[in-house]
């Protein structure tokens, strides 16, 4: 069963005088529980694809269905609500709200969802323990290392039990050891909690960890293979 269904996505950006064709007809179907990487050089359209799947950006043509929600029929606030409940995001850097502690960052999403306070706290602590940040609940982002910050970001992305977590170059700002730890942790979450992960990356290590690897080039899918495990 597929959780994400993209059909013939096209997207052109108007960058001043030049038009940039970011996506030229990408179709992609992602199964529940997948751990997939979108790879390709910069400018290949992978971030755009991720943004479109997350409802941050809208395609010029083509359709996106995430967990049976058709994006083209939704307005901005419905998309915000969908992101809140169905999609988790992890970015390359500056993921966290700087004025909130690790625990509060994780709680924030549940707060938006309207989860009662006691439950919020319990779930947030549990997930922070899961990502290996036990005892660092009250640290502000500035007091955490880059890897720890990304772990908080992952915890925040999955705490709401989304259908899919979209991670845009999550390891790009980390050294390889820290990056590997993060990937291990994410795969563990994927297996333990059955959360679907989609990465955009050009980090070989991420590609190695992925179970499915989709290669993009100049806005088109050039390769799509599922690795044997």
Partner 1 sequence: MNVDVKMAWRNIWRNPRRSILTMTAIAFACLLLVFMLSFQFGSYDTMINSAVKIHTGHLQVQAEGYQDKRTMRLVVPDPGAIGSILEQTPGIDAYTYRANAFSLVSSEERTYGIVVIGIDPAREANVSTLKKVIRQGSYLSAEDTNQALLGELLAKNLQVGLGDELVMIGQGRDGSVAATVVEVKGTYNSGQDEFDRSSIHIPLKHFQDVYAMRGGVHEVVALGKSLGAIPAIRKAVAGSIENEDPKHVLVVLDWIDLMPGLIEGIKLDLISGLILYCILILVVAFSILNTFLMAVFERTKEFGVMMAIGTTPRRLTKLLLLESIAMTVIGIVVGIIAGCLITWYFQVHGIAISGMSEVVRQFGIPERMYPKLSFLSVTIGPTLVLFITSLTALYPALRVRRLRPVEALASV
List interacting residues with partner 1 (CB under 8 A). 51, 54, 56-57, 76-77, 80-85, 87-89, 91, 94-100, 104, 107-109, 111-113, 156-157
Nearest to 48 by CA among 28, 30, 68: 28
Q: How far is CA 18 from CA 12, 13, 14, 21, 59, in A?
A: 10, 8, 6, 10, 18
In angstroms, what is the minimal distance from the CB of 83 to partner 1?
4
Q: With respect to partner 1, which residue has the nearer C-beta, 20 or 112?
A: 112
In angstroms, what is the minimal distance from the CB of 51 to partner 1?
5
* Number of C-beta neighbours around residue 43 at 10 A: 14
Q: Which two tokens stand for residue 98?
A: 């700087």
Q: With respect to partner 1, which residue has the nearer C-beta, 163 or 213?
A: 163
Q: Which two tokens stand for residue 50?
A: 């991720």
Q: With respect to partner 1, which residue has the nearer C-beta, 51 or 171?
A: 51
C-alpha span between 135 and 128 (Å, rounded): 9
Fill in the DSSP letter of residue 24: E
Q: How far is CA 198 from CA 30, 89, 137, 145, 209, in A?
A: 9, 10, 27, 24, 12
3-state secondary structure of 193: helix
In angstroms, what is the minimal distance from the CB of 24 to partner 1?
19
Q: With respect to partner 1, which residue has the nearer C-beta, 162 or 179?
A: 162
In angstroms, what is the minimal distance from the CB of 223 to partner 1?
26
C-alpha span between 29 and 132 (Å, rounded): 32
C-alpha span between 160 and 113 (Å, rounded): 8
In angstroms, what is the minimal distance from the CB of 175 to partner 1?
23
Q: With respect to partner 1, which residue has the nearer C-beta, 164 or 213?
A: 164
Phi-psi region of 143 (alpha: psi -120 to 50; beta: other; left: phi over 0): alpha
In angstroms, what is the minimal distance from the CB of 89 to partner 1?
4
Q: With respect to partner 1, which residue has the nearer C-beta, 99 or 226?
A: 99
């Amino acid at each position: 069963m597929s959780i994400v269904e993209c059909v013939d996505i096209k997207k052109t950006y108007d960058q001043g005088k030049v038009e940039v064709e970011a996506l030229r007809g990408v179709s992609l179907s992602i199964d529940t529980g997948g751990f997939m990487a979108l790879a390709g050089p910069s400018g290949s359209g992978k971030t755009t694809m991720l943004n479109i799947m997350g409802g941050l950006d809208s395609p010029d043509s083509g359709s996106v269905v995430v967990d049976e929600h058709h994006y083209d029929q939704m307005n901005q606030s419905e998309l915000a609500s969908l992101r809140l409940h169905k999609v988790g995001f992890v970015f390359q850097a500056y993921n966290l709200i700087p004025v909130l502690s690790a625990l509060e960052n994780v709680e924030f999403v549940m707060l938006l969802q309207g989860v009662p306070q006691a439950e919020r706290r319990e779930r947030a602590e549990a997930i922070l323990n899961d990502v290996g940040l036990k005892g660092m609940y009250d640290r502000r982002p500035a007091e955490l290392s880059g890897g720890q910050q990304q772990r908080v970001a992952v915890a925040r992305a999955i705490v709401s039990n989304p259908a899919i977590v979209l991670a845009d170059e999550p390891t790009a700002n980390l050294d390889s050891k820290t990056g590997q730890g993060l990937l291990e942790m994410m795969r563990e979450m994927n297996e333990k909690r059955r959360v679907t992960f989609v990465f955009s990356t050009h980090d070989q290590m991420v590609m190695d960890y992925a179970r499915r690897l989709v290669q993009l080039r100049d806005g088109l899918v050039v390769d799509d293979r599922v690795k044997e495990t």
